[in-house]
């Protein structure tokens, strides 16, 4: 397996940012880490190995990015508005810096697949819905799709624009909706331990997408399926095996 490590100074975040690449061809998959996680956790927790057959066959290439959650949504020392602004700088880093890096390595791709587990599910869904000109597929596992856990009931323009359960119900722009309808959307959640918040958010997301006429595969796994890596290692290759890559 081809594995690369990259690091560069981000002009949007004004700090060094790191990522890893796994693979040599196929659909580019941008992987977001869990809450406060790092770019190497996908490998450390066995997810790269679980995706190994798809990587080795040239079906996908993984690009595992770093997070700045500790500076944004998890940073209790600053106002929620400042946390949101820091996240928007991260969003620009993904679209203005990571995306060109990925396009350079996969110039024939139709678009990227965004994925992540837990808070990575939030990041992947949010970047997919905000930028459907870059991302045309989504696999969100045990995601949350609102930010009340981090900012409470506070809401401003920036929080709103990063809360899929807030902005999607009001979205009527065909530029977005038509792209969603042409995309492949998967959101999966278990019904076991630690999945209550993700389960509630996923049900809301399902209802919103259905009301917009956006096809999506919303999959609820069993009551023994917990919010944890062993299940995500089973879910990710399962869904990769069913998508058109």
What single-letter DSSP state applies at residue 97? Answer: I
- pLDDT bracket for residue 63 (50, 70, 90): very high
Q: pLDDT tens digits, residue range 173-201?
A: 999 999 999 999 999 999 999 999 999 99
191: CB partners within 8 A, 6+ apart: 199, 220, 221, 222, 223, 225
- Mean pLDDT of all residues in 212-235: 97
Of 195, 130, 196, the residue nearest 167 (C-alpha): 130
33, 116 contact by CB (below 8 A): yes
Residue 245 pLDDT: 87
Instruction: For residue range 17-61, list pLDDT tens digits in order.
Output: 999 999 999 999 999 999 888 999 999 999 999 999 999 999 999
Confidence of residue 117 (pLDDT cuts 50, 70, 90): very high
Q: pTM for this one?
A: 0.97
Comparing 231 with 152, the larger pLDDT belongs to 231
Query: What is the mean predicted confidence (pLDDT) over 218-244?
Result: 97
pLDDT surpassing 90 at residue 72: yes
Q: What is the domain partition of the chain in residue ranges?
A: 3-239
What confidence score (pLDDT) does residue 218 get? Answer: 98
Give the model's confidence band at 166: pLDDT under 50 very low, under 70 low, under 90 confident, else very high: very high
- What is the mean pLDDT of the segment spanning 94-120? 96
Predicted confidence at residue 159, as pLDDT, reads: 94
Q: Which CATH number fits domain 3-239: 3.40.50.300, 1.10.599.10, 3.40.50.1820, 3.40.630.10?
A: 3.40.50.1820
Summary mean pLDDT of the chain: 96
Residue 207: per-residue pLDDT: 98
Long-range contacts of 13-19 (CB under 8 A, 24+ apart): 13/68, 13/89, 13/90, 13/93, 17/65, 17/66, 17/93, 17/97, 18/66, 19/63, 19/64, 19/65, 19/66, 19/98, 19/101
């Amino acid at each position: 397996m081809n594995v690369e490590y990259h690091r560069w100074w981000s002009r949007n975040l004004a700090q060094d940012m790191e990522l890893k690449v796994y693979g040599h061809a196929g659909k580019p998959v941008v992987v977001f880490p869990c809450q406060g996680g790092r770019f190497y956790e996908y490998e450390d927790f066995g997810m790269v190995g679980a995706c190994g057959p798809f990587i080795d066959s040239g079906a996908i290439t993984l690009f595992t990015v770093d997070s700045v959650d500790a500076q944004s949504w998890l940073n209790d020392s600053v106002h929620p508005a400042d946390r949101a602004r820091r996240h928007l700088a991260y969003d620009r880093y993904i679209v203005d810096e990571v995306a060109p890096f990925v396009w350079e390595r996969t110039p024939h791709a139709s678009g990227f697949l965004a994925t992540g587990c837990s808070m990575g599910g939030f990041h992947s869904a949010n970047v997919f819905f905000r930028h459907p000109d870059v991302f045309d597929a989504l696999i969100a596992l045990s995601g949350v799709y609102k930010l009340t856990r981090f900012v409470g009931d506070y809401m401003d323009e920036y929080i709103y624009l990063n809360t899929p359960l807030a902005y999607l119900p009001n979205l009527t722009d065909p530029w977005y909706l038509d792209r969603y309808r042409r995309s492949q959307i998967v959101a999966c959640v278990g019904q076991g331990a630690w999945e209550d918040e993700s389960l509630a958010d996923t049900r809301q997301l399902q209802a919103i997408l259905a009301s917009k006429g956006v096809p999506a595969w919303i999959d609820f796994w069993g009551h023994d399926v917990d919010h944890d890596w062993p299940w995500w290692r089973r879910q990710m290759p399962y869904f990769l095996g069913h998508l058109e890559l």
